[in-house]
Amino acid sequence: MLKICVCVSGGGTNLQAIMDAIDAGKITNAQIVRVISNNRGAFALERAKSKGIDAVAVSPKDYEDREDFNRAFLNCMDDVKPDLIVLAGFLVVLPPMMIKKYEGRIINIHPALIPSFCGKGFYGLKVHEAVLARGVKITGATVHFVDEGTDTGPIILQKAVEVRPNDTPEVLQQRVMEEAEWEILPQAINMIANGLI
């Protein structure tokens, strides 16, 4: 059984998609052992708790400096000894020590087709604003392994989504989530849990 720790910062709809996929048997051989958020007020923590999943906030605001936060975050991760770390809308740069320690065992969902609209500064709604500003007709989402760079690790799955003429960033974000993110993130986890990658 693959032990997963999911890291979240906000609403947690991707976390919900993972929990639903486990319930529906679309993800097998895996269980979420902990959800960690950098944001105490993240609704994602409530989603986890309502399923009886251990949910913990580790906020940089509670620590003197970044090093202290990084240490606490790493300890909170190590406590549950996860086989896989899933970044599901996690808007914090991972401590380099964590990336090294869990090399090849961290995945991220990005709301665009990497290598477009990714890297530093491209997160959340900003990605969709940039997509609309550039006028591309196709966007999508990417699940990739995490390395030391920002959105540079090996790609696992991608799915394309149409951009429509009257899209706002919010409308496009919702379509990308519904048609791509909530599908390919659970799918990638199931592939890893069943030795298909």
Residues annotated as catalytic are: 110
User: Is 10 a binder of ligand GAR (CB under 6 A)?
Assistant: yes
**The one among 11, 60, 95, 169 contacting ligand GAR by CB under 6 A:** 11
Burial class (CB in 10 A: 0-12, 13-18, 19+), 150: middle
**The one among 2, 4, 6, 13 contacting ligand GAR by CB under 6 A:** 13
Piece of 7-15, 50-58, 65-73, 99-107 that binds ligand GAR (CB under 6 A) = 7-15
The CA distance from 91 to 113, in Å, is 18
Q: Which residue is nearest to ligand GAR (CB)?
A: 89
User: Is 109 a binder of ligand GAR (CB under 6 A)?
Assistant: yes
Query: With DSSP H G I counted as helix, E B as strand and the rest as coil, what are the percentages for the chain, rounded to 5?
Result: 40, 20, 40
**The one among 82, 89, 140, 153 contacting ligand GAR by CB under 6 A:** 89
Q: How far is CA 141 from CA 119, 127, 159, 182, in A?
A: 14, 11, 6, 10
The residue count for binding ligand GAR (CB under 6 A) is 17
The least CB distance from residue 36 to ligand GAR, in Å, is: 13
- Helix residue ranges per DSSP H, the chain: 13-23, 43-49, 66-78, 96-101, 125-134, 169-176, 182-193
Q: Which of residues 123-152 bind ligand GAR (CB under 6 A)?
A: 123-124, 127
